[in-house]
Amino acid sequence: MSELGISCSFGCAAGSGRGSSDFDASIDALAPSLAEAAGWIARGAASDEPGFGWYNLPEQDISPILDTAEWLASYDSIIHVGIGGSALGNLMLHQALLPMYFNEGAVGSRVPRFYLADNPDPDKASAIWERVEGSRAALIGVSKSGATAETMSQFLWFRSRMEGSSRGGVDGDILVITDPGGGVFRTYASKRGCRSLEIPPSVGGRFSVLSACGLVTAAALGADVKALLSGAALMKKTLESAADAGRNPALRMAAVQAIHQKAGRPMTVMMPYSSRMETFAEWFAQLWGESVGKDGLGTTPIRALGAVDQHSQVQLYTAGPDDKLYTIINVRRRAEEIELPEVSDESLASLSYLSRQKLGEMLSYEAASTAAALVKAGRPVVWMELDRLDEASLGGLIFLLEFVTAATGRLMGINPFDQPGVEQGKRYTYGLMGRDVYRGDADEANEFFGRVRSGTVRA
């Protein structure tokens, strides 16, 4: 992974006193299963089976995405309606790759302002509309099925607001990103003539960030999505060329996750040391939680940000229960660096050790210090380092973790591409909102929720 500037280390990976030789032996014992998992991923992608489409996204033709991004870039504001995999990837790409606080530019500035309507909260929806009303706004609806209640409800509301303030039709200001074969959004695009982009049928929502779902708004706002996919393609080539777990970082990380779950560590902490990667940890949490949390198995993802959570979580991590695996991500060279001034005031003399220090270097020292403190406490640590955070390295990191997730699911013996628990909640919601075919689900939801309410104590 040297071309991408990404490295992975597995210091004290066994944790709690187990030596590296013991851990290497555990990896060796999993070697046949790891090789089978890699072959399973490759075969599924080659035949374009459901769920495996993410593996082929680095080679996709993005001409329609770039053309649509150019159109979007002409607007003052973009309202993106989606939830889960149709939303978190956008926030992750924007935060990592775009200038910080880019959204504070005035209406009419070169880059559109971006607003994500994910949670169906009336306070948030109204606040978004207040900020775009009167501007030239584009509306994007993202749902593979076109049936996601949280997305479709807000799409209807924003579309109605746009109709009420438009002098003409609104369909020319709307983009839908959906399945190519069917669903409400596909029907709407066909009948109303609005713009549309496709989500490949074999790509699941939480694996869709490198599809039109994530790429089109990133490109419209100025990110180099060609470089993002090039980085993913290079990572794919790297993983394919390293067949054994000793040289393949994705297989080794999958083995680490599986070993520590069996060792009684049911949580995995993702802790990047970069403000640009705070939402990256949130994106990973969805990818991981929905993929491996099944059949009573899986590890719970915990989002943390260094160095902020050194002051809120690391006490628990080092001195609390030994029930977590830690992944720390450091960025060696940051886009911006700040050198501190010389401390000359006598009243600040105790701070003289900070004279001429650099903030970015200090953040890296803190990442190393947290890793060292965890190792001293016998906790298992995966150390990841990026030479820099840019489109190519981020694309490679995304692909790497998607591979790790799929391979870990295979090692666990579950399907990492479905989400039966999510679907149950959707059916209950549809029933409670009055969809005829889900009336039985509404009765069941009321029955189970009644058990929750049965012990109510009012304050």
Boundaries of every domain in the chain: 6-43+227-412, 61-199
| Residue 11: band (very low, low, confident or very high) from pLDDT cuts 50, 70, 90 | low
Rounded Cα distance between 314 and 258, Å, is 23
The tokens 């886009």 sit on which residue?
Answer: 335
Instruction: Establish whether domains 6-43+227-412 and 61-199 are of one fold.
Output: yes
Token readout for 267 is 């949580």
Domain formed by 6-43+227-412, architecture: 3-Layer(aba) Sandwich (3.40)
Highest averaged pLDDT of the listed ranges 1-10, 138-147, 436-445: 138-147
Q: Which positions ≥6 away from 21 have C-beta within 8 Å?
A: none
Write down the residue that tokens 């393609």 correspond to. 233
**Residue bearing the bigger pLDDT, 46 or 17:** 46
110 or 333, greater pLDDT? 333
Instruction: Say what percent of the chain tops pLDDT 90.
Output: 75
- Residue corresponding to tokens 């298992």: 380
Judge whether 269 and 321 are in contact, CB under 8 Å. Answer: no
Contacts of 379 (CB under 8 A, 6+ apart): 12, 15, 16, 317, 318, 322, 324, 326
- Give the three-class secondary structure for 177: strand
Q: 387-416: b or e for each residue (b if 16 or more CB lie within 10 Å)?
A: eebbbbbbbbbbbbbbbbbbbbbbbbebbb
Q: Give the tens place of pLDDT for each residue, 378-428.
A: 999 999 999 999 999 999 999 999 999 999 999 999 999 998 877 777 788
What is the average pLDDT across 4-10? 86
Give the model confidence (pLDDT) of 270-289 as tens digits: 999 999 999 999 999 999 99
What are the b/e assignments for 279-300, b being 16+ CB within 10 Å? bbbbbbbbbbbbbbbbeeebbe
Residue 442: what pLDDT? 75
CB proximity list for 447: less than 8 A, separation 6 or greater:
none
User: Quick one: which of 199, 148, 132, 234 has its CA closest to 430?
Assistant: 148
d(CA 138, CA 228): 24
Q: Is 195 in contact with 177 (CB distance < 8 Å)? A: no
How many whole angstroms separate alpha carbon 431 and alpha carbon 427? Answer: 6
pTM of the model: 0.93
Are 201 and 180 in contact by the 8 Å Cβ rule? The answer is: yes
pLDDT grade, residue 457 (50/70/90)?
low
Lowest mean pLDDT among 10-19, 268-277, 348-357: 10-19
CA–CA separation, 429 vs 446, rounded Å? 11
Buried b (16+ CB within 10 A) or exposed e, 95-107: bbbbeeebbeeee
pLDDT bucket at 1, cuts 50 / 70 / 90: low
CA separation for the pair 415, 287 (Å, rounded): 13
What is the predicted pLDDT for the residue at 17? 45
Residue with the two structure tokens 């049928």? 201
Backbone phi and psi for residue 73, each to the nearest 5 degrees, phi listed first: -65, -15
Banded model confidence at residue 244, pLDDT cuts 50, 70, 90: confident
Query: Residue 15: its pLDDT value, please?
Result: 45
Averaged pLDDT score across all residues of the chain: 91
Structural domain 61-199, CATH architecture: 3-Layer(aba) Sandwich (3.40)
Mean pLDDT of 313-330: 96
Summarised one tens digit per residue, pLDDT across range 211-234 is 999 999 999 999 999 999 999 999
Give me the pLDDT at residue 332, please: 94
pLDDT exceeds cutoff 60 at 109: no
Which pLDDT value is given to residue 37?
Answer: 95
Q: 25-34, 184-193, 199-208: lowest mean pLDDT where?
A: 25-34
SS3 of residue 80 by DSSP: strand
pLDDT of residue 242: 83
Average pLDDT over residues 164-176: 85
Per-residue pLDDT band for 104 (boundaries 50, 70, 90) equals confident
pLDDT at residue 95 greater than cutoff 60: yes
pLDDT in tens, 47-93: 999 999 999 999 999 999 999 999 999 999 999 999 999 999 999 99
User: What is the structure's pLDDT at 16?
Assistant: 46
Quote the CA–CA distance of 152 and 187 in Å, as a whole number.
Answer: 13
Given the structure tokens 């799929």, which residue do they identify? 406
d(CA 119, CA 20): 45
Ramachandran region, residue 404 (left: φ > 0; alpha: ψ -120 to 50; beta: rest) = alpha
Report the C-alpha gap between 182 and 188 in whole angstroms: 10
| Active site amino acids | 290, 311, 426
